[in-house]
Amino acid sequence: MTNTGIAMIGSGSATPPVSLDNQRLSQIVETSDEWIASRTGIRDRRVADPQTSLCSLATAASKQAIAMAQIDSSEIDLIILATSTPDDLFGSASQIQAQLDAPQAVAFDLTAACSGFIFGLVTAAQFIRTGVYKTVLLIGGDILSRWVDWSDRRTCVLFGDGAGAVVLQASDCDRLLGFELRSDGSQNGCLNLSFQAQPQPLIDQITVSSGTYQPITMNGKEVYRFAVKKVPEVIEKALFRADLTVDQINWLILHQANQRIMDAVAQRLNIPSENVISNLANYGNTSAASIPIALDEAVRSGKIKPGDVIATSGFGAGLTWGAAIFKWGV
């Protein structure tokens, strides 16, 4: 069996142009810039208008990642779209394949909420390691503005829309150093976007259900407690698998959900705040997109350089959580 290394050679991101800052949000629900900023660190978020599809954001992010990787889209073997908000419940990845003109690629969606990018990264890595595929496009994208209850101030202030993408390629030198994935369905009720069945009698004794998905519900305090406890643990486990210690990490990129969660995790791991990448103030929680958007911005600004060691962790609904340690670039 081949056991090929993995390199992350390109990144890209896209967010809708329309921003909705805390001030304007306070005209929609009873809240304030002071409450949102002090409890979460969020000041602004981008929201998709009805013409902006998840596929359009994902395709724009992907084009940037493909350009940075200096590959042609015809070289892509696999496209994984991590999302909980597809344009089509049957899957949206193949629409992106068509828009990118990547006829060789097989494309599928993967759902793991805010952990989707990490779960997607590890899934992509398995195909590369076994030698099945050489070049993989991984996208994390969500449009949660479609699914929040805009009258619920406990949730609507938290989320924003966007997409981020990376190109992964087979390499002699392995840059994915360690990972750990976890889930705990017993805590599923903490954070949901669930289907609400409406019984629809069809004929005789047969009743099916019609209905729709209900807006996001969340027990914020439980999710907060879970994140602060489990994220440092899972990063430590991934570091152990990578045979690295915390002081060998150049950058910590956490799922951008709450600045207080990021600060608490960094503090628990003894990582100085200048090594923690945060763009939460500008975008809010963009779910599966938050890690690749933060990564892409840090790469493009020159903060993250080739060879830097990045510890990254996603966490959220499921509940799911996971961490991956990798070196950026070839």
For ligand UT7, the closer of residues 149 and 308 by Cβ is 149
Tokens of 60: 């724009």
Q: Which stretch binds ligand UT7 (CB under 6 A): 29-37, 47-55, 192-200, 305-313?
A: 29-37
CB of 232 to ligand UT7, least distance (A): 15
CB of 220 to ligand UT7, least distance (A): 3
What gap in Å lies between CA 47 and CA 49, rounded to an integer? 6
Tokens of 59: 């395709």
223 binds ligand UT7 (CB under 6 A): yes
154 binds ligand UT7 (CB under 6 A): yes
For ligand UT7, the closer of residues 100 and 257 by Cβ is 257
Residues 6+ apart with CB under 8 A from 34: none
What gap in Å lies between CA 319 and CA 191, rounded to an integer? 8
Of the candidates 255, 258, 279, 282, the residue annotated as catalytic is 255
Footprint on residues 54-93 left by ligand UT7 (CB under 6 A): none
190 is annotated as an active-site residue: no
157 binds ligand UT7 (CB under 6 A): yes
Q: Which helix (H) or strand (E) holds 324?
A: strand 320-327
22 binds ligand UT7 (CB under 6 A): no
Say if CB 162 and CB 107 are below 8 A apart: no
Say if CB 223 and CB 258 are below 8 A apart: no
CB of 316 to ligand UT7, least distance (A): 4
Give the x/- contact pattern for ligand UT7 in 224-263, rule: CB under 6 A: x--x---------------------------x-xx-----
Q: Which stretch binds ligand UT7 (CB under 6 A): 33-41, 46-54, 96-104, 232-240?
A: 33-41
The DSSP line for 112-173 is -GGGHHHHHHHHHHHHHHTTS-SEEEEEEEEEGGGTS-TT-HHHHTTB-EEEEEEEEEEESS
CB of 328 to ligand UT7, least distance (A): 24
Q: Which stretch binds ligand UT7 (CB under 6 A): 12-20, 221-229, 246-254, 276-284?
A: 221-229
What gap in Å lies between CA 66 and CA 77, rounded to an integer? 13
Interface pick for ligand UT7 out of 221, 247, 270, 272 (rule CB under 6 A): 221
Closest by alpha carbon to 314, among 253, 263, 269? 253
22 is annotated as an active-site residue: no
162 binds ligand UT7 (CB under 6 A): no
Residues 6+ apart with CB under 8 A from 39: 258, 260
What gap in Å lies between CA 311 and CA 268, rounded to an integer? 14
CB of 42 to ligand UT7, least distance (A): 9
Tokens of 275: 């090594």
For ligand UT7, the closer of residues 160 and 178 by Cβ is 160
265 binds ligand UT7 (CB under 6 A): no
188 is annotated as an active-site residue: no
Say if CB 322 and CB 118 are below 8 A apart: yes
Which residues here bind ligand UT7, judged by CB under 6 A?
Answer: 31, 35-36, 39-40, 114, 153-154, 157, 218, 220-221, 223-224, 227, 255, 257-258, 285, 316
Residues designated as active site: 114, 255, 285
